[in-house]
Chain A
Amino acid sequence: MNEPLLRGVDLRKSFGQTPALDGAGMGVAAGEVVAVMGPSGSGKSTLLHCLAGIVPPDGGTVSYGDRDLTAMSDKERSALRRSEFGFVFQFGQLVPELSCIENVALPLRLGGAKRKAAEQAAREWLARLEVDQLADKRPGEVSGGQGQRVAVARALVTRPRVVFADEPTGALDSLNGEQVMRLLTATARETGAAVVLVTHEARVAAYSDREVIVRDGRTREPVVI
C-alpha cells in the first residue's frame, strides 16, 4: 500500500457509558477503495465519522496528509469537508428544498463559487452519473437509486481526495445498488480519490481494494503501514 493519505490511530470514542471505538485504527491511500465491514453496532460508522472529522474522537489521532484533524477547529474541519472530502450516506443527505442540480452545486457555492459556474460543474457531474435529466427535480421527486447517484455527484463535484460512503446502497434494491457502486468506485478511481466505504454487505465490499473488519470498537488487525 502506498503512503496513507488519511490515517486514524488508536481511536477511542464513547457515547455516554457505551464505548463505540476502543483503540480502532486504519489508513487509506490516495486512489484506494477500502471497505469497512462489521456487524451492526460494531463501531464502523463511528470510525468513518471520526476519520471524516465529523465526530471528534475522545482519544487517538486522525491525520490527513501532514495535518492533524483532531487539532483542527470546527471551521477548519468544515473547510476540509467542503473542499477535500465528499460524503455519500444511506439517505437524508440531500437538502429536500433544493433541486438536484442545486444540491450538487451546494458544496461549490458554500466554498464561494458563483452560482452559474457551480451549476455548470454540477450539470457535468450529473451527466457523468447519468442523472442529468433530473437536474431540476427535487430529491422527493426522484427514486432512491437516482437520489443516491445525485448524492454521489455531489460528493465528487469538488473533486475530493477522500470520499466517505456510509452504507450507500443500504436503502436500494440490488440492481440500483450495483449501479451506484459501479459509478461511485469507477468515478473515484478516475479522479484519483480515496474511498472509505462502510458496509455490511459482501457484494458491496467486493468493489473495494481492501477490507478492514471492525468488531466491538476495534479493527481486527492493527493497521501496519
Chain B
Amino acid sequence: MRTDLGIGVRLAVGGGRTAMTRLVLGAIGVGVAVAVLLLAASVGPLMQARSERANLTTVSTEAIAGVDPLYEHRVSAEHRGDGLSLRYVNAGGPSSPVPPGADRVPAPGEAVVSPALAERLAEPGAADLRQRLPERVIGTLPTTVLTDPHDLTAYLGVGPEVRASDRTTEVYSYGGFPVDESLDPTLLLLVLLGTVALLAPVFVFTAASTRIAGAERDRRLSALRLVGADSRQVRRIATAEALVSAVVGLVVGAGLFFAGRALAPGVTISGVTVNSADVTPIWWLAVAVVVLVPVLAVLTAQFALRRTIVEPLGVVRFSKPIRRRLLWRLGVAAAGVGLLFWHGGVTAGHSLWVYSITAGAALLLFSVPALLPWVVERSVSRVRGGPTSWQLAVRRLQLDAGTSARVVGGVAVVLAGAIALQSALYSQSTELGGPQASPSAQNSGIELYPEAGLSAEAERLVAGVPGVRQAFTEGTVTFVSSADEDTASIPVYDCATVQRLFAVTDCAPGVVYGVGDTNLQDYRMQAGEQWWVYEWDHKTKTATRGASWTVPQVRSIPEPAVSGDLDSSTRPESLFVTPGPGFVPDVTEGLVTPRIRVSVDVADQGVADRVYAALAPLSWQVMGVQWGSRSGDDRAAFTAISRGLLIGSVFTLLLAGLSLLVLALEHIRERRRPLAVLAASGVPTGALGRSLLWQIAIPIAVGVVIAIGAGIGLTALVLRLGSTPMVVDWSSVGLMVLAAAVLAGLVWAITLPFLRGATRLTSLRTE
C-alpha cells in the first residue's frame, strides 16, 4: 500500500507542467477553502475573547464591606470621528478598586491611557486633544484589558467634586458581568451569506479541479493497469494524487490564514479591530478542517472515478446516455428555500437559526451547478439549423452537455453568490440612506449633555466655534397620566430659544407649542386633562410623581425660521413647552435633563473636534454625542464589506476562469485529431474557433440566467428574515454578468492559438 501511495505522490508532484498546473489549481482551491474555514472556526473564540475583555471593565456598584468606592464618571466623546471613552475617577478611600490595567487609581490631574490614545496624544497635530485631556499620563493600559487594540480610552483622575454628579457611579469592583458582544442579526445574516457565497465556488472549483486533465489521468491509470496494478491499487494511487493536492492546499490555507491573522490588527471595520491572538480557531474545529478537507478531496477524486472502469487498454466510462434527473436537482434548491423559510423556527441569532440559514443559503447556491447540466441539456436538445460553427457547437453539446455545464458551474455559482451579496448589501445600505449618502447624513449635528447648571456655559462656549450654525439648550420633561397608564416626553425650550428659532414674537411661559401639524393627540393628551411631572431620582434610581399639570391648548407655530441652520437631528418638529409657573422649572435645572443641540456645517469635518476643544474648560462636566456618526460607521462598514466581497468575488471568478481555461485547453488537446480531421476536410479554422466560442458561451448564458434567479431569490429570502425591503442593484448584476462574459471571451481568446495548433494537418500524424 505504501508503494501505491508513493507512486501516487510521485505522479502528483513530478508530472511536468500539466501535473503542476493541476496541483497548483487544486492547492489554491483547497487553500482558500481551508483559510475561510479556519477563519469561520475562529469567530467563536474571537467573540469570546472580546467579550471577556469587555467584561473586565464592567463595574459592580454593590457595596462591599471594607472596600471604599471608586467614583467613576464616564464621558463619551469623539476625536477625528473616532470614539473616545473617558472614565474620570476619584478614589473614595485607600481601598478603592483600581481600574483594570492600571497600577493605581490616578490622582487628580493624572491619567492612565490606552496605547492608541497615548499615540494619538503624542501626535504633533493633536494639540486640540491635548487641550481637552491635559492630564499627565502616568501609565499605559495593556491591550489585554481593551476590547479593541485601537480603543481610545483613558482613566483620568479628578477631584471629589465629581461625586456630586448624577452620572457618577460608585464602583466597588471591576469585572464579573458578561457582556453581550453578539453580532447584529442583519450583519450576522450578511456574514453568513458572505461566507457561504465565497465558500461555495471554492468547493465547486475544488471539485472541478479534480477533473482537470481527467483524460490524462485516465490514460495514466490505464497504463498502470497494463503493467499489473489491480483496480484497488489504481484507486489508492488516485487517492494519493488527490491527497497531495489537499495537503499542499492545507499548507497554503494555513499560510493564508496566518498571514491574514497577522494583518488583522491593521484592518478596522465599523470601528472594530481585532487582536491577532483572538483569531484562534476552536481546536477541534481546526482538527476537523485539517482532517475533513483531505478526506473530502479524496472522496471527490473517488467520486470522479465512480462511473469509470480503469482497464489496461484504457478507461471505460459508463457512457450509455444517462437521462439527467431533474427531481434531485430541484430537491437541492427546494431544501435550501425550505430551510431559509423555516430558519429553525427560532429567533434570530439562535444557533439553530444560524445553522438553518447557512445550510439553506449553501443548498440554494449548490443547486446552481446541480441544475445547470440539466438546463443546458434541455436548452440545446431541440436546437436545429444555423451556421456550421453553431451546428458543430450544438451537436457537441447535445452529445455531452454535462462537461461544459460542469465547467461553467464554478462561474455560475460565483455569479449567484456575488449577486446575492451585492443585492443584500445594496438593500441594507439603501436602508441607511443610500450608498452614496450625502455628507449631511453622515455628520448631522452634536448633542452635548452638561452637568446640572452648566447648560448656559456650555452653550456659550460652543456658540462661537467656527462651523457651528446654531446651538440651543433643550430640556425634556416627562409627564405621566392620571392613571399612570401613559407617559409623554416633551421637549422644553426657554422663550429666548423659541424666539431665536421660530418666527414667534409673543412667547409666553407655560405654553405648549406644536410645530406644523403636531397636536396633543400624537401624545395621547387632551387639553384640560391633568397630568403629573415624572420625576426620576438618579441617586436612588426611583421615580415619583411631581407637580401636577393641566394640559393647555396647543398653540400652532410654523416651521423654524432658521431652518436652513438646522439639520434633521437638531430641527424641532414636534410638540414642545416653555417653562412656566406651577408647571416645570427652568430648562437649565436638573429636573428637565438639559442637553445642548448643536447644528454644524456638515461639510466641515473638523467642526466636532473644535466643539469638543472649546468645551475643554468643562472637562468631565460635559459629554457629547455626534449624530450621524453611527450610521456613518455602519455605512463605512457596509462599504468595507462590499469592497471586500467585490475583491473576493473577483478572486473566485478568476479562479473559476482559470479552471474554465484549463478545461477548455484540455478539451482541445483531447479532440486534437477530430479537429484536425475537420480542418483537413475543409472546415475553416474560423468556424472551428466560433464553434468553440459557442460551446463556452451557451452554457455561460444559461448559467447567468440561473445565477441571476438564484442570487436574487436568495437575497429576497435572506432579507425577508431581517424585514429589509429588497432593492436589486441592477448595475452590480450587470457588472457581474459583464465580468462573466468578458471572462468567457478571454478564455476563448486564449484558447484560439491552441486551437490553431491542434488543427494543423500535422496533428493527423500518429507519431
Q: Report which A residues bind B (CB closer than 8 A).
A: 49, 54-55, 74-75, 78-83, 85, 87, 89, 91-98, 102, 106-107, 109-112, 115, 138, 140, 144, 154, 171-172
Shortest beta-carbon distance, B9 to chain A, in Å?
A: 11
Docked Cα-Cα span, A107 to B14, in Å, equals 18
Q: Is the CB of B541 closer than 8 A to any CB of chain A?
A: no
Residues of A near B233 (CB, < 8 A) are: 78, 110
Residues of A near B767 (CB, < 8 A) are: 91, 144, 171-172
Which residues of chain B in 207-247 are interfacial with respect to chain A, using CB atoms and an 8 Å cutoff?
Answer: 216, 219-220, 223-233
Residues of A near B227 (CB, < 8 A) are: 81-82, 87, 93, 106-107, 110, 154
Shortest beta-carbon distance, B442 to chain A, in Å?
A: 59
Contact of B229 among A49, A82, A102 (CB under 8 A): A82
Q: Is the CB of B311 closer than 8 A to any CB of chain A?
A: yes
Look across to chain B and name the residue whose beta carbon is closest to the beta carbon of A49. B313
State whether A82 touches B228 (Cβ < 8 A).
Answer: yes
Docked Cα-Cα span, A95 to B12, in Å, equals 12
Residues of B near A80 (CB, < 8 A) are: 228
Look across to chain B and name the residue whose beta carbon is closest to the beta carbon of A141. B16
Residues of A near B766 (CB, < 8 A) are: 91, 171
Q: Is the CB of B7 closer than 8 A to any CB of chain A?
A: yes
Residues of B near A97 (CB, < 8 A) are: 10-11, 14-16, 19, 220
Q: Map CB proximity to A onto B304-328 as digits: 1 under 8 Å, 0 otherwise.
A: 0000000111000000000000000
Which residues of chain B in 1-23 are interfacial with respect to chain A, using CB atoms and an 8 Å cutoff?
Answer: 3-4, 6-7, 10-11, 14-16, 19
State whether A98 touches B11 (Cβ < 8 A).
Answer: yes
Residues of A near B11 (CB, < 8 A) are: 95, 97-98
Shortest beta-carbon distance, B308 to chain A, in Å?
A: 15
Residues of B near A106 (CB, < 8 A) are: 7, 224, 227
Residues of B near A111 (CB, < 8 A) are: 228
State whether B232 touches A75 (Cβ < 8 A).
Answer: yes
State whether A102 touches B10 (Cβ < 8 A).
Answer: yes
State whether B229 touches A140 (Cβ < 8 A).
Answer: no
Docked Cα-Cα span, A138 to B15, in Å, equals 9
Shortest beta-carbon distance, B333 to chain A, in Å?
A: 39
Shortest beta-carbon distance, B481 to chain A, in Å?
A: 87
Asked, given contacts A95-B223, A96-B220, whether A110 binds B313 with beta carbons under 8 Å apart, the answer is no
Residues of A near B313 (CB, < 8 A) are: 49, 54-55
Docked Cα-Cα span, A109 to B9, in Å, equals 14
Residues of B near A83 (CB, < 8 A) are: 228
Look across to chain A and name the residue whose beta carbon is closest to the beta carbon of B13. A97
Contact of A78 among B14, B223, B229 (CB under 8 A): B229
State whether B220 touches A78 (Cβ < 8 A).
Answer: no
Docked Cα-Cα span, A95 to B229, in Å, equals 13
Docked Cα-Cα span, A138 to B10, in Å, equals 13
A sample of 20 inter-chain contacts (CB < 8 A) reads: A54-B312, A54-B313, A74-B231, A75-B230, A78-B230, A79-B230, A80-B228, A81-B227, A82-B227, A82-B228, A87-B227, A87-B312, A93-B223, A96-B16, A96-B216, A97-B15, A106-B227, A109-B6, A110-B3, A140-B16
7 nearest A-B residue pairs (beta carbon):
A82-B228, A97-B15, A78-B230, A171-B767, A81-B228, A107-B227, A54-B312
Shortest beta-carbon distance, A148 to chain B, in Å?
A: 10
State whether B15 touches A107 (Cβ < 8 A).
Answer: no
Docked Cα-Cα span, A54 to B227, in Å, equals 11
Docked Cα-Cα span, A218 to B229, in Å, equals 31
Q: Map CB proximity to A onto B667-701 as digits: 1 under 8 Å, 0 otherwise.
A: 00000000000000000000000000000000000
Residues of A near B220 (CB, < 8 A) are: 95-97
Shortest beta-carbon distance, A196 to chain B, in Å?
A: 15
Shortest beta-carbon distance, A113 to chain B, in Å?
A: 8
Shortest beta-carbon distance, A17 to chain B, in Å?
A: 15
Look across to chain B and name the residue whose beta carbon is closest to the beta carbon of A145. B767
Residues of A near B225 (CB, < 8 A) are: 78
Told that A75-B232, A154-B227 touch, could you supply 10 new A-B pairs with CB distance under 8 A? A75-B230, A75-B231, A78-B231, A82-B228, A92-B219, A97-B10, A97-B220, A107-B228, A110-B7, A110-B233
State whether B232 touches A81 (Cβ < 8 A).
Answer: no
State whether B223 touches A92 (Cβ < 8 A).
Answer: yes
Look across to chain A and name the residue whose beta carbon is closest to the beta carbon of B7. A109
Residues of B near A92 (CB, < 8 A) are: 219, 223
Look across to chain A and name the residue whose beta carbon is closest to the beta carbon of B216. A96
State whether B230 touches A74 (Cβ < 8 A).
Answer: yes
Residues of B near A94 (CB, < 8 A) are: 223
Shortest beta-carbon distance, B317 to chain A, in Å?
A: 15
State whether A54 touches B3 (Cβ < 8 A).
Answer: no
State whether A78 touches B228 (Cβ < 8 A).
Answer: yes
Contact of A87 among B4, B14, B15, B226 (CB under 8 A): B226
